[in-house]
Structure 1
């Protein structure tokens, strides 16, 4: 399904898209915060290790995805 241009949206579609975007931003922010917490805990307990890269990579992907959604 192709994305519509903003000029092709109806008022109802704008409201639905806004609600969906707001929900996605809140979920992304919570996940990013959780992953940052894991990274901080990992640094305090075990110092920097290979397993710390996994949450760091996931946080990076979530940040890039949220920037794409804003457009």
Structure 2
């Protein structure tokens, strides 16, 4: 979400948005863990090759992408002194 949209939300809407983010954290962590597991297995079986590096790149991109919205919501909640 953009900062403008987060600023326009009410306190209740922000808290609901934060509650909705909890299940997505688990899914995002699973995706990143799956990519890291594939990379570890690939290193064990074939050494460092393209199939090893590709999941690592995907995990880094997923980590950066998935964390953006969560950090913005947390910053807005902290600015409004909400939990």
Same fold (TM > 0.5): yes
Counting only pairs closer than 5 Å after superposition, residues 29-68 of structure 1 correspond to structure 2 as 29-68=29-68
Deviates more, 1:35-44 or 1:9-18: 9-18
Displacement of 1:52 after TM fit? 1.4
* Deviation digits for residues 28-67 of structure 1 (CA, Å, limit 9, x no counterpart): 1111111111111111111111111221111011111123
The separation in 2 between residues aligned to 1:5 and 1:40, in whole angstroms, is 38
Asked whether the 8 Å contact 2:39–2:51 carries over to 1, the reply is no
- Give the number of aligned pairs: 70
Q: CA deviation at 1:9?
A: 1.8
- TM-score under structure 2 length normalisation: 0.69
Question: Unpaired runs of 5+ in structure 1?
Answer: none
- Cα drift, residue 16 of structure 1: 2.3
